[in-house]
């Protein structure tokens, strides 16, 4: 089980608020073609196995996993789906290589959220039918509850959360694939209409359609396929209880992130993540989530993330750049493909292919994804240029 | 049937127990509708059906004339931008006779069973075609390998849907 696993190819397509020009199959075919080209032009016949991350209700088709093969070149091959964030799908693909069962495995995910009339209704449908749904609230009240408790417990301020928004949307201006880049002021965020107090409309990321395909390989095959393998050094994922009223550490902390990161750090041999990791792409579905996740990921102490943010620590030129890509707030939220989006940016940075937003001298990066409300699931991946 | 079941113990539930609120239930339904983007291939296919034609795409590598049309060959994994019309006739590859409705209720005495069938379309690659229904035929007359032809809706009634073909009938 000590086999090393590398990312040898990555491709994306779509990345628009709507994508009426392509069916989901055509969109994924485009991402897969780019990914395989990126891995030295490999033909999918040479790929051993495929893992897709999907959620039937998001796709509007039950047993969506049966609709995976064609567009990935996976017909007549081992294929399965993970109902979870795409970093959980990545973990599944990685394990197939670690066990020695397969040598080359593709992982994919996509969002066609623009095809849904009522995504909020779908999120409500994910809440408990006895305890939560009878209140008939817009589901973003859950983010309001989390944010309020997080601010209360840590002393983090509303303005510090707003600063996450201005940072990430400004970062997105240097990312051609980011949809929501903008130069906005702190007051634009704090004075925006409130959605669910203390959460305002600019504190949440906008929807995004798109598809991402990643190719993983064993060390031996990775060396044949690419000059720039990016190694998966550690991976971990965890889920808290679904009960909103009895989360293990309450609504204020992201215990799933802490546990996922602990596993990933241990596997990667990381003792002091702030010093040993150069940058991170961290879930920022909502503004407060970036700060809450930074603390849970042990990149700083409780209540410190907001202060460090104000000092410029997480800026592209800071000590620990966070979401240089613009994150979800600046790039758009890709739903089940959220994790692969965080991963893709981390890979591009480590390869030195991040264009205008390229960081200097980066060797190790962290990608962290949360599965969104009402879930308490997160997954962390440590990537490195060194095996 | 119910009188054949012996209750060994306990207290049975009745529909009234539930309707009178003796048994607690919570009901909800999903409030979401979907509008799937057809994309390039499905869109052209439906557009042509509206015109009363069946169109396929051709793979330059494996030479299959693919129906329903797709923008890429799932076996060769290359783009397939070449369009080609095929016939609206073919042979029955397989069929079934449905004696129940979608909800498993039995069809009435005078009701005709639904006749779903896979039609291998003339001009398409062997084994490729359309899943549709058969009409103007008695169930006992259907044979695998039988020749059939599309019966189209009148042009004004076509909407760009697979049901623009009403059914396939023997020919």
- pLDDT tens-place string over residues A55-67: 999 999 998 889 9
d(CA A334, CA A339): 8
CB distance from A41 to chain B under 8 Å? no
Angle at A162 between CA A158 and CA A163, to 5 degrees: 115
CB distance from A79 to chain B under 8 Å? no
At residue A1, the pLDDT reads 61
Across residues B43-52, what is the average pLDDT? 98
Q: How many CA atoms are closer than 13 Å to the CA of A338, on its beta-carbon side?
A: 30
Across residues B149-160, what is the average pLDDT? 98
- CA distances in angstroms from A330 to A142, A164, A280, listed in the order given: 22, 10, 15
Reading phi first (left if > 0) and then psi (alpha if -120 to 50, else beta), residue B145 is in: left
Per-position b or e across B137-156, b if 16+ CB within 10 A of its CB? beeeebeeebebebebbeee
Closest CB to A129: pick one of B28, B40, B42.
B28
Host H or E run for residue A287: helix A287-296
Say whether B70 and A129 touch across the interface (CB within 8 A): no
Q: Which two tokens stand for residue A203?
A: 């504190």
CB distance from B81 to chain A under 8 Å? no
Count the Cβ atoms, other than its own, within 10 Å of residue A352: 13
Question: Distance, in angstroms, between B35 CA and closest chain A CA?
Answer: 5
Give B70's contacts in chain A (Cβ within 8 Å): 25, 70
Q: Which residue shows structure tokens 């990381």?
A: A270
DSSP label at residue A62:
T
At residue B7, the pLDDT reads 66
Q: Is the pLDDT of residue B154 over 80?
A: yes
Does the CA dihedral B137-B138-B139-B143 come out positive or negative? negative
Closest CB to A75: pick one of B32, B35, B74.
B74
Say whether A125 and B30 touch across the interface (CB within 8 A): yes
At residue B26, the pLDDT reads 87
Q: Which residue shows structure tokens 């504190």?
A: A203
Q: Is the pLDDT of residue B5 over 90?
A: no
Question: Distance, in angstroms, between A68 CA and closest chain B CA?
Answer: 11
The DSSP annotation for B40-62 comes to HHHHHHHHHHHTT-EEEEE-TTT
Are the CB atoms for A107 and A36 separated by under 8 Å? no
d(CA B46, CA B49): 5
Question: Distance, in angstroms, between B115 CA and closest chain A CA?
Answer: 24
Give A122's contacts in chain B (Cβ within 8 Å): 30, 32
Minimal-distance CA residue of chain B relative to A28? B72
Q: Is the pLDDT of residue B1 over 60?
A: no
Per-position b or e across A48-74, b if 16+ CB within 10 A of its CB? bbbbbbbbebbbbeeebbebbbbbbbb
Smallest CA-to-CA distance from A210 within A177, A170, A181 is with A177
At residue B17, the pLDDT reads 87
Q: Which parts of chain A sit beneath pLDDT 70?
A: 1
d(CA B42, CA B150): 19
Composition of chain B by helix, strand, coil, percent to 5: 15, 30, 55
Q: Which residue shows structure tokens 């750090």?
A: A265
CB distance from B30 to chain A under 8 Å? yes
CB distance from B71 to chain A under 8 Å? yes
Minimal-distance CA residue of chain B relative to A76? B75
Q: Which two tokens stand for residue B45?
A: 């296919």
CB distance from B33 to chain A under 8 Å? yes
Give B34's contacts in chain A (Cβ within 8 Å): 60, 115-117
Angle at A161 between CA A156 and CA A167, to 5 degrees: 135
Show Cβ contacts of residue A298 under 8 Å, excluding neighbours closer than 6 positions: A258, A261, A262, A265, A273, A274
DSSP label at residue A384:
E
Closest CB to B39: pick one of A25, A118, A133.
A25
Q: Which residue shows structure tokens 């779908």?
A: A122
At residue B2, the pLDDT reads 60
Per-residue pLDDT band for B23 (boundaries 50, 70, 90) equals confident
- Give domain A5-117+207-225's CATH superfamily: Thiolase/Chalcone synthase (3.40.47.10)
d(CA A331, CA A321): 16
At residue B9, the pLDDT reads 78
At residue B139, the pLDDT reads 95
Are the CB atoms for B151 and B136 separated by under 8 Å? yes
Closest CB to A116: pick one of B28, B34, B39.
B34
Say whether B40 and A71 touch across the interface (CB within 8 A): no
| Own/partner pairs, B39-43, CB within 8 angstroms, 24+ separation | B39/A21, B39/A22, B39/A23, B39/A24, B39/A25, B39/A26, B39/A27, B39/B71, B40/A21, B40/A22, B40/A23, B40/A26, B40/B71, B41/A23, B41/A26, B41/B68, B41/B69, B41/B70, B41/B71, B42/A23, B42/B68
Provide the residue ranges of all domains of chain B, joining segments of one domain with +.
35-170
pTM of the shown model:
0.94
Per-position b or e across A11-42, b if 16+ CB within 10 A of its CB? bbbbbbeebeebbbbbbbbbbbbbbbebbeeb
Smallest CA-to-CA distance from A73 within A98, A104, A94 is with A104
Show Cβ contacts of residue B121 under 8 Å, excluding neighbours closer than 6 positions: B54, B56, B67, B86, B87, B88, B89, B90, B128, B129, B130
């Amino acid at each position: 089980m000590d086999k090393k696993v590398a990312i040898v190819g990555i491709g994306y397509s779509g990345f628009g608020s709507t994508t009426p020009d392509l069916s989901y199959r055509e969109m994924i075919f485009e991402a897969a073609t780019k990914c395989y080209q990126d891995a030295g032009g490999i033909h999918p016949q040479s790929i051993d196995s495929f893992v897709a991350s999907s959620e039937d209700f998001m796709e509007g088709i039950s047993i969506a996993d049966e609709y995976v093969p064609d567009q990935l070149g996976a017909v007549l091959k081992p294929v399965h789906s993970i109902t979870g964030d795409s970093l959980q799908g990545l973990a599944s693909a990685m394990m197939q290589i670690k066990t020695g069962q397969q040598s080359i495995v593709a992982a994919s995910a996509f969002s066609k959220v623009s095809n849904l009339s009522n995504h909020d209704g779908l999120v409500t449908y994910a809440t408990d039918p006895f305890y939560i749904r009878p209140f008939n609230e817009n589901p973003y009240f859950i983010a309001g509850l989390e944010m309020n408790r997080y601010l209360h417990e840590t002393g983090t301020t509303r303005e510090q959360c707003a600063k996450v928004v201005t940072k990430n949307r400004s970062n997105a201006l240097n990312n051609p694939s980011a949809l929501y880049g903008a130069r906005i002021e702190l007051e634009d965020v704090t004075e925006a209409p409130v959605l669910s107090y203390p959460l305002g409309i600019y504190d949440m990321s906008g929807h995004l359609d798109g598809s991402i395909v990643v190719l993983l390989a064993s060390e031996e095959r990775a060396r044949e396929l690419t000059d720039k393998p990016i190694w998966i050094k550690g991976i971990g994922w965890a889920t808290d209880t679904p009960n909103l009223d009895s989360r293990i550490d309450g609504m204020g902390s992201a215990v799933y992130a802490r546990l996922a990161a602990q596993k990933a750090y241990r596997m990667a041999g990381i003792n002091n993540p702030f010093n040993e990791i150069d940058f991170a792409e961290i879930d920022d579905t909502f503004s407060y989530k970036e700060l809450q996740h930074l603390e849970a990921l042990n990149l700083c102490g409780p209540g410190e993330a907001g202060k460090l943010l104000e000092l410029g620590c997480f800026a592209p030129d800071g000590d620990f750049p966070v979401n240089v890509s613009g994150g979800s707030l600046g790039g758009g939220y890709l739903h089940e493909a959220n994790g692969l989006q965080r991963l893709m940016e981390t890979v591009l940075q480590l390869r030195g292919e991040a264009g205008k937003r390229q960081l200097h001298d980066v060797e190790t990066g962290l990608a962290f994804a949360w599965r969104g409300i009402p879930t308490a699931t997160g997954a962390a991946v440590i990537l490195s240029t060194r095996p | 049937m119910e009188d054949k079941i012996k209750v060994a113990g306990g207290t049975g539930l009745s529909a009234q127990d539930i309707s009178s609120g003796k048994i607690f239930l919570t009901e909800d339904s999903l409030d979401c509708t979907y509008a799937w983007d057809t994309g390039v291939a499905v869109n052209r296919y439906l557009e042509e059906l509206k015109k009363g034609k069946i169109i396929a795409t051709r793979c330059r590598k494996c030479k299959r004339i693919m129906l329903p049309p797709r923008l890429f060959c799932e076996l060769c994994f290359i783009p397939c931008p070449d369009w080609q019309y095929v016939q609206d006739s073919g042979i029955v590859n397989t069929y079934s006779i449905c004696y129940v409705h979608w909800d498993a209720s039995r069809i009435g005495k005078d009701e005709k069973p639904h006749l779903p069938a896979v039609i291998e379309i003339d001009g398409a690659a062997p084994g490729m075609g359309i899943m549709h229904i058969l009409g103007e035929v008695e169930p006992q007359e259907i044979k695998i390998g039988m020749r059939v032809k599309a019966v189209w809706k009148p042009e004004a009634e076509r909407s760009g849907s697979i049901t623009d073909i009403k059914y396939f009938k023997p020919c």
